[in-house]
Amino acid sequence: MATDYFAILGVDKNATPAEIKRAYRRLARDLHPDVNPSPEAQEKFKEVSKAYEVLTDPQKRRIVDLGGDPYDQGGGAAGGGFSGFGGFSDIMDAFFGAGAGGGARGPRRSRVRPGADALITLDLELAETAFGVTKDFAVETAVLCDGCQGAGTAPGTSVAECGTCGGMGEIQAVQRTLLGQMMVTRECHACRGTGTIIPTPCPKCGGDGRVRAGRTVTAKIPAGVENGMRIRLASQGEVGPGGGPAGDLYVEVHEIEHDIFTREGDDLHCRVTLPMTSAALGTELTLTNLDESDEELEIKAGTQAGDRITLRGKGVPRLRSTVRGNLVVHLEVQTPTKLDAEQTRLLTELARLRGEEGEASTKANPHGGLFSRMRDAFNGR
């Protein structure tokens, strides 16, 4: 049977949080170990504290209101885990089923169980992951059935005691083993260990207490998130069986590639292509950054292909910080592929003035032909 936490505190089942708090304080004053050191008072104080913790936790109280127990071993209470064999009875249970060792029967399973977590992938632009955004998106999960509010029963009906196990949630049978005939206890197949059945299930959910439905969820994406990161939205996942508390929804960020900028951690990178003449003579450019601010670039005379300009503090904000990374501009120099007669004449004259006229073999001049030598000249060779 589920623990009556309301009775432990001496409050009504419709008690408000304030009434529960007052009742707990009243009992705690009398039972606290500093006031009453007796073993009985200490045990009672533990029960009262546990009841207060359950009834002031919205998710746990919902389980209690629906007839379950958040600390029921079959109810999926948090913190449960495998603890190994505790003795001969546990070993017999492992081989021959629960109760084979003749020990006490375990508690019934609760119909109300916590829901599972859900995962969705959200596509975001680079600017959205860099500077944050509030995003609405559609998701389909199990939600509370509005026909029965999670009870699983049709309107005007209620659950009934299981006739197969008599409300125990388990049945006993004689089983022949290598050690002879033994009495084994197994989970009742009719009620699946809950001890109750639903004679008239809710027509909307079929007795499950939940239905699948689409809904819109709002997520606040913080600035600085990276591709593959997950954002947790508490209690936005799947509602549990019997209308149990919902799990969490995890939003996995998928960063869409940008046409101009790439990202490496907190730094942004982009490429700017310069005409050969601008690289040789120098110039000034205006670059529109990812945050749409204008950045002035000073291109120095004699700039080479592969040179970089670093603008500090113009990159992506660091996650949960106001510090920003850098914007790194990679410079590329474009060599003309088609020249008209006048352009050819001028470049030829430049080559003559620099003593670079004529073609030279690769063997004689490892720097190559005319335009390669011009490149070397711009580099100060």
- Which residues participate in the annotated binding site for Zn(2+)? 145, 148, 162, 165, 188, 191, 202, 205
Q: Is 217 helix (H, G, I), strand (E, B) or coil?
A: strand
284 with 298: CB under 8 angstroms?
Answer: yes
Output the six-digit token pair for 186.
């197994």
Give the whole-angstrom CA distance, residue 359 versus residue 273: 28
251 with 231: CB under 8 angstroms?
Answer: yes
Output the six-digit token pair for 235.
């209690």
115 with 142: CB under 8 angstroms?
Answer: yes
Annotated binding site: 145, 148, 162, 165, 188, 191, 202, 205
Residue given tokens 């936005």 in the structure block: 236
223 with 255: CB under 8 angstroms?
Answer: no
Give the whole-angstrom CA distance, residue 371 versus residue 336: 10
What angle is formed at CA 175 by the lines to CA 172 and CA 181, rounded to 5 degrees? Answer: 115
Nearest to 56 by CA among 83, 91, 21: 21
Residues linked to residue 196 through DSSP beta bridges, in sequence order: 161
What strands lie across the sheet with 249-255, from one edge to the other?
118-124, 249-255, 230-233
75 with 68: CB under 8 angstroms?
Answer: yes
Radius of gyration of the chain (CA): 37
